[in-house]
Each structure stands twice: as structure tokens, then as C-alpha cells.
Amino acid sequence: MKETNSQLPIFLPISIRKKSGDEWETTGPAPALSFEKNLSLSGWYRIRFKYQTDFATQRNPVLSYVVDGVTVRIRLDRSRSGKIDHVVNLPPLAIEVSLELLGARGPFMLSSVEFVPLSQIRSMQVIIFRALGNLRSGGGRSRRRVVLAVLRYLKQHGIQALKTRLIQAYHQGAGEELLAGKRLSTFNDLRQEWELNPDDLARMSDDIKGMSTPPTISVIMPVFNTEEKWLRAAIESVLCQTYPYWQLCIANDASTEDWVIEVLDSYEKMDTRIQVVHRKENGHISMASNSALGLAVGQWVAMLDHDDELHAAALYCLAEQIVKYPEVRFVYTDEDKIDEVGTHSEPHFKPEFNHGLLLSQNYISHLSVIEIGLLKEIGGFRAGYEGAQDYDLFLRCIENLTLDQIAHIPIPLYSWRMAIGSTAADPLAKDYAERAGTRALVDHLDRVGVRAKVLTGRAPTTYRVKYDLPTDPPLVSVIIPTRNGLKHLRKCLSSFETFVRYPNYEILIVDNDSDDEETVGFLREQEQNDQIKVLDYPGEFNYSAINNAGVRATKGDIICLLNDDTEAIVEGWLTEMVSQLLQPEVGVVGAKLLYEDRSIQHAGIILGMGGIAGHGHKNAEKKCIGVFLPATSGS
């Protein structure tokens, strides 16, 4: 099917204006081309145009739209010469469609945009041919990487699994970059949304003036032989804060490099809000942090490492949260990493306070601000926990807090320096941090009276808490619905017997009108086992009703809902799930589920996916640790 020559729909310029020909310039923040509001778009389209900005700010443009209240953003392919050529599938009811011109600042070049409808067959042809062309003409390393990845996947999982992956990619539509393994969006694209413009600065200024009692935030920073450029960058990031009510408390931990004293003394003379204490002996980070804490006069204390950087609005956002929620005593934010040339990457978008996750890893980390009274109550930092001194501090803090006293700001306001030898660049660079973290976690569990063992996690600086079962473990009722499912049910029960070590359980098989003779005979055999019962549930199949009937027929304190087509593959899985469920704040426990090819089917539920919720880490490899480790962490 031939492409049409139509260049629909009509685009409306947002925050940009045309100068002449293909020359444009920005007139405000968030430059974009917006489609007509009432235009209904769905189906396959090929988008082609040319877009170039200043080299330093050049980004791939993004196609965005809204479906059922959820915004979808797709990074469009862009060649080095600025040509965009991308095939996309817009779902029915897509509204607010626009082209976000990321990176546009001042003058830029934008040709007329072709938005050409295609048939699905033609769309597949375009994507496949361009992907093959990319493999033929791309760099040798790129070709080898893609081909080897495909062959490795075929060897491990087979052609059917690969076919499933390709169908998923084609279903939503994509350019050749997806098939070459490139990301659909970059963090630098997203960071532009957090860059401050004059309107932001004016609003912040008005907000600060409106604070009746603006809190003073004391930023503590221990320093030891920091490279001069990184030390200056850290201090400058505080001086550049939009919020003026701060104090920078620096403890020089007996640095041996001459420039450290010179730099610190010069900044102390420059701004009276900067105070420095020079320690005579090196006491390491915990003692140095306490020395810096001794200078603090603010009501709140934030922590900054000597080579990291704060976002310009970091302290403003913290102050705004403190003023808005007076009951709060502990606030933490999201963070990212910054390399030696200033490129931001690896954003850590954190959840609201999650005690279980905190017992698996120090996900709070940077940036955190704590009420100074709370810090004094717990005695500040403890020596002997260097490398995990923050983790130890946080664990002792939460022991004295209620849930409503902990707040989270979901914006990366702190950048962790990826310098050679740092844990930001390589967590294994400081293996002593993991040992200190284990001690801090053991201490915490002892203080709160929890009987458990702490093991090292699968990934660096992660931990696994194995809770002890009570002396008299509660009865677990395992409910398995089935209907002529002998093939699966036999494997399910066999794996249960092989891998379950939990001492107190019963199994209830709920049979929904099985009429296969072998299945019926197998069910009758199972009833000879004292721990297995069969409940007949005749009538129309209704999964919810079948399980509800099973719950009513059981007598256990804990219900385990198990499909008949599942197989256990890890010893002690039921014991682990029960021990987690018995923790006071836990009401439901789920397990990681794998497909037959051992890729992940489900590793948690993420709200908002598909408009409601979706499976976390779906189709990732079994050993995938996830983004910031959620697929492997779990106390």
C-alpha cells in the first residue's frame, strides 16, 4: 500500500515562532507543535521532518499523547543530520497529541512535518526494512552486538519467545532505534522539565516571601582531600540555591592537601552563611559529620557529600514541604548521578516511605533533611559504621517516627558524583560499606525486637532479612482452582511437595466440573492425602467465585491462592512468604513469577501502567536486578 502525500494534521506552534523558511526561535518554555485539539487520531503513521538545534542542547524530539488520563511519551528516531523518520501506532481515543521539541532554545531549524497514515502491513515493512538497513550499514560493533544478542536470546529461549517480543514491539509501533536496542527516552530529555525559568524563579521568590517563619536548613558537609574542582562545584551548588535561608557547615577532616584549607577559608570569607571547622585529627566520615553538625544553628539538617551537587531548587523544595506539613520531621528526595563532564544519568525515582524496601537497601540515600531535634535525640552519627553511616542514621531515625512524619519529594534534587573509585560509579569500590550496612541493619532489628537473620543480597549493598517463624506457625490454606487440568495440576502438586518446608498447611483443590476421566481419577487419589481436600464447585466458570468458595471451606489463618499451572522452583518459598506476611505492616505478599522461557512475568505491581496497574519488570531476564534493584531486593 502506498503512502499518501497528505501532511495532516494541522500543527499549532507552542512557545515558538517562525522567522523565515525553516528557521524558528523559541518564545517560552516547553516548545512544541500541538495537533488540533478536536482532531481524532488513531492507527499507524509515519512521521518525517528535520530538526536541529544548537549542538550542546540537541535532543531527540518526543511524540506525546494522552489515553485514559495517562500521558505516553515516545522518543523519535533522529539521524546525525537531524532527520526524523519514525513509525508509530496511535491507540484509539488518543488526545492532546503533540511533538515536544526537546533541546530547542533560541534559534533552531524545523522543516515542515509529514504525518502520513500507513496500513499496518506497510508499517511493519518500513520498520523491518529500516532495521535491517541499520544492521547492514551501521558500525561493526553495533551490528555484532545486535546479532549476538538475538542469537543468544534464540539459544536460551527459542523462536517463539523472540516472536512474542517482536509482536509486543510492533504492537505499539517503533522506529529502528528500538530494534537496535536503544532507549526510547533519555533522562536528559526529562531533566529539561526541571530546569528553572524566570517564571519559576519569580514564583519561588513570592512563595519564600509568603513564609511566615522560613526554616533555616543547615547543610553539613564533611571534607577530606577532595579534588578542588569537585569541592568548588559542591559549594557553588549551595551558593546557587534559590532559597536563601541556609547554612553550610563544613568539617575539614584533617586533609593533607594544601588546597583544601585554602578553598574552604576563601569561601568562608566570601559568605557568612558558610562556616568551617578544621579537625586536627582524621576521624573519618562519621566523626567529621558530627563536627559539622556541631556548627549547625538551623532547625533542619541536610547532608551533602563533598563532591556532589544540589539542584538549584533543592532547599526551596525542602523548605516548602516543611512549611506545608508541620508534622513532618524527615524529608527525602529523588536523586540522579553526574559524571566528570557534567552529564546526568541513572535517575533514582523513589517510592513513598517503604519500610520493607529500606530493610533491603538504603533507598533513601540523598537528599535527606532531618529535624535537628531528632538528630540530637538519637545522638548523631555513630563511629564504626563508616560507609553506611547514613543508613545507620536513617534506621535509628525511623524508630522514633510515625508514618505521617516522613515525607518524600518525587524530584531528583541531588546529583551523586560518579568519580573514579566512588560507590556512585561502582558500588564494589567500597565493599566495607556493605559490611557496615549489615551491622547497622542487625542493630536496628535488635532494637525493635524483631527476630531475624540478615544475609547479603544478590546485588551490592543490598540485604535480605529472613524473619524467624513463631514457635507455633499459623495454618496456611492453599487454594488451587482447576478444571480438567491434570497436566498442570500434577506438576503443581509435585513441585509443592518438593520445595515446601513449611510445617503447617492444608491444600484445597476446587474442581470446577472436571469431566476428564484421568483428571477425576487423579483428584480422587489426592483425597487419600490427609493434607489435601477436593471441593466440587459445579456451574459456570467464575474465577473469583471459585476462590471465594474455597476460602469459605478452609480453616487456615493465612490463605495462599495458587494457580494450577504454576510450579515452585525455589525451596522454602512458602516459609519466606509467610514470614513476610506476619510482619505488622504487611497484609498481602506476592512472589516473582516467571514465564516458561524463564523471563519475568511479574515482579511486583506498578500503579498507573495501562491506566490502572501493570506487572513490574515484565519480560526481563530472570536474573535481572531491576532499576535500582527492586527486582532483587526484598526483605
Residue 227: per-residue pLDDT: 92
Cis link prior to 460 (omega < 30° from 0)? no
Using an 8 Å Cβ cutoff, are 43 and 121 in contact?
A: no
Mean pLDDT of 194-201: 79
Say which residue, 557 or 90, is predicted with more confidence: 557
CA distance 565 to 631: 23
Question: At CA 457, angle to CA 354 and CA 157, rounded to 5?
Answer: 100
Using an 8 Å Cβ cutoff, are 275 and 268 in contact?
A: yes
Mean pLDDT of 392-405: 96
Task: Report domain extents, the chain.
Answer: 11-188, 214-447, 476-581, 593-635
Quick check: 427 pLDDT over 60?
no
Among 5-9, 101-105, 139-143, 367-371, the range of highest mean pLDDT: 367-371
pLDDT tens digits for range 272-290: 999 999 999 999 999 999 9
CA distance 635 to 438: 13
CA distance 157 to 288: 53
Residue 609: per-residue pLDDT: 61
Amino acid at 499: F
Using an 8 Å Cβ cutoff, are 380 and 366 in contact?
A: no
Segments in 175-299 forming alpha helices (H) = 176-179, 187-191, 198-209, 228-239, 258-270, 284-293
Mean pLDDT of 79-94: 80
Q: What is the CATH number of domain 476-581?
A: 3.90.550.10
329 grid coordinates? 520531621
Say which residue, 177 or 373, is predicted with more confidence: 373
Say which residue, 65 or 517, is predicted with more confidence: 517
Q: How many CB atoms lie within 10 A of CB 600?
A: 22
Residue 461: per-residue pLDDT: 85
pLDDT tens digits for range 115-127: 888 887 777 666 6
Q: How deeply is 524 buried, as exposed, middle or buried, from its count of CB atoms within 10 A (0-12, 13-18, 19+)?
A: exposed
Quick check: 632 pLDDT over 70?
no
Name the superfamily (CATH) of residues 214-447: Spore Coat Polysaccharide Biosynthesis Protein SpsA; Chain A (3.90.550.10)
Q: What is the CATH number of domain 11-188?
A: 2.60.120
Strand partners of residue 467: 452
Binning pLDDT at 50, 70 and 90, where does residue 172 land?
Answer: very low
| CA-CA-CA-CA torsion sign (379, 382, 387, 388) | negative
Strand partners of residue 412: 334
pLDDT tens digits for range 219-234: 999 999 999 999 999 9
Say which residue, 354 or 141, is predicted with more confidence: 354
The residue behind cell 562545584 is 233
Contacts of 334 (CB under 8 A, 6+ apart): 347, 348, 349, 350, 409, 410, 411, 412, 413, 414
Quick check: 193 pLDDT over 50?
yes
pLDDT tens digits for range 25-58: 988 878 889 887 666 677 888 888 999 886 555 6
Instruction: Determine phi and psi for 627, rounding to 5 degrees.
Output: -80, 120
Mean pLDDT of 600-627: 72
Mean pLDDT of 84-105: 83
Amino acid at 600: I
Two domains, one topology: 214-447 and 476-581: yes
Binning pLDDT at 50, 70 and 90, where does residue 629 land?
Answer: low
Q: Quick one: CA torsion of 558, 564, 569, 574, rounded to 10 degrees?
A: 10
The residue behind cell 563544613 is 250
Using an 8 Å Cβ cutoff, are 147 and 135 in contact?
A: yes
Binning pLDDT at 50, 70 and 90, where does residue 192 land?
Answer: low
Quick check: 143 pLDDT over 60?
no
The residue behind cell 490454606 is 477
Quick check: 71 pLDDT over 80?
no
Residue 135: per-residue pLDDT: 41
- H or E stretch covering 125: helix 120-137
Q: Which has the closest alpha carbon to 192: 7, 32, 23?
A: 32
Binning pLDDT at 50, 70 and 90, where does residue 139 land?
Answer: very low
Q: How deeply is 543 buried, as exposed, middle or buried, from its count of CB atoms within 10 A (0-12, 13-18, 19+)?
A: exposed
Q: What is the DSSP string of 14-69?
A: ESEEEEETTEEEE-SSS-EEEEPTT--EEEEEEEEEEEE--GGG----EEEEEETT
- Least reliable range by pLDDT among 1-10, 229-238, 463-472, 504-513: 1-10
Binning pLDDT at 50, 70 and 90, where does residue 154 land?
Answer: low
Number of H helices, E strands in the chain: 18, 29
318 grid coordinates? 525542602
40 grid coordinates? 481524532
- Least reliable range by pLDDT among 5-9, 200-204, 437-441: 5-9
Query: Kind of pairing, strands 532-536 and 505-511?
Result: parallel
